[in-house]
Amino acid sequence: MKLHQLVRPEIYKGGKRPSFAAAYARAARRYGFETGRNAGFAKRNNVVVKVKSKHNKDTEHEVPAESIQNAHAHLVASLEYVVPVKIGTPGVTLNLDFDTGSSDLWVWSSELSRASRQSKGHTIYDPTKSSTAKKASGTWNISYGDGSSASGNVYTDTVTVADVVIEGQAIELAEKLSSSFLQDGGNDGLLGLAWPQINTVQPEPVATPVENMINKKLINPPVFTVKLGRGEEAGFYSFGNFIDTSVTPNPITYTPVDNSQGFWQVQSTSWTLNGETKERSGNTTILDTGTTLLLVADDVVDAIYGAIEGATYDDEQGGYKFPSNATIPEVSFAVGDTLYKVNPQDIAFGDAGDGYTFGGIQSRGDLDFDIFGDVFLKSVYVVFNQSEKTVGLAQRDD
């Protein structure tokens, strides 16, 4: 086993990131939160909406799947990190979203209409060209309140991810994709790495790739690891016994996972601002590579931006921004009993215009747990252990 390189989709080459509005709306869609005090987006009546302002939470407009009004960005723009996965014999390699917040393995396929298959920039899996493909029972359907959806049937085939070869892996083939997916040229599907119970295949969920790796004793220890990069570096991942201690000199500290909701959810009961520790009794967070931003409670958000001179809430875009030349405070969040510092260059998420920068830390709305997305995960090396229900983190210095 060895460390393998993640891939950054073409639309994110050169260190580009998803737009702020697209990243925030995607999180609202996935977790279905209301605005709370500071969130500029919410999910209402199963539809993602942009609210009018910090002080007026009425709906300004619905957020369609194809684009975000005034933002010119695809809502379902692919994740910032994809992983090459070989499917079939002799096989085809597809770039799939690397997503610890979902549990489906679905791909662009020959089952799609001819027009859909010809969408620019996608590699297609065709089971008729694989000697190991077999039709399986079951169907799948992933639909979102913003109108985007993907659905289809199920095959089994040989799947190779990293150095691990999984025979008889269930693969969800897309027969229908909404137009928002068809406009997204960043990936060829999704590799879900959350817990099996949130897999969407009906009438019975299918085993996820990680579940099969463990059950078939293909990896030992039963872990996968990830280092998300920034800028030109996409980062690395591994499955099995290669835990790269050269990523950071800092120790890996393990903490128990609550997987009752299907996510990698852990305790996060303290945080620090410029060295001052603040307690958050009973708080938890989800470690999610499928969410771009770091989403926390409103009082935490207010404290962070209150410590940045000139920071202000942008009603039009729906979140906090600050002067691009401002001094960013030192911010750390706990996972288990250990605090991890968030790199300031990730807190400075992206250009907000007029000399301002969007903050990578924003409100979780009315959720009662945090979401530690890529803005947090880029500061740590993570070891996910599904068998032992633990997750290990090490502070990175890069």
Cβ neighbours of residue 261 closer than 8 Å, sequence gap 6 or more: 198
Range 320-325, long-range pairs (CB < 8 A, 24+ positions): 320/38, 320/358, 320/359, 320/361, 320/362, 321/352, 321/356, 321/357, 321/358, 321/359, 322/356, 322/357, 322/359, 323/355, 323/356, 323/357, 324/348, 324/351, 324/355, 324/356, 324/357, 325/355
Task: Mark whether 288 is an active-site residue.
Answer: yes
Query: Cα–Cα distance between 259 and 290 in angstroms, integer?
Result: 17
Task: Mark whether 366 is an active-site residue.
Answer: no
Q: Which residues pair with 98 in a beta bridge?
A: 191
> At which residue do the structure tokens 């996910």 appear?
384
For 239-268, give the secondary structure using H, E and C.
Answer: ECCCCCCCCCCCCCEEEECECCCCCCEEEE
Going by the DSSP 8-state scheme, the letter that residue 288 receives in this structure is -
DSSP string, 322-344: EETTSPPPPEEEEEBTEEEEPPH
Kind of pairing, strands 189-192 and 105-107?
A: antiparallel
Supply 151's token pair. 């659905």
Supply 291's token pair. 């969410």
Query: Cα–Cα distance between 126 and 312 in angstroms, integer?
Result: 50
Write down the catalytic residue from 157, 184, 188, 288. Answer: 288
Peptide bond into 329 cis (omega under 30): no
Query: Cα–Cα distance between 112 and 200 in angstroms, integer?
Result: 19
Supply 167's token pair. 């025979």
Write down the catalytic residue from 99, 104, 157, 346. Answer: 99
Query: Cα–Cα distance between 350 and 343 in angstroms, integer?
Result: 14
Catalytic residues: 99, 288
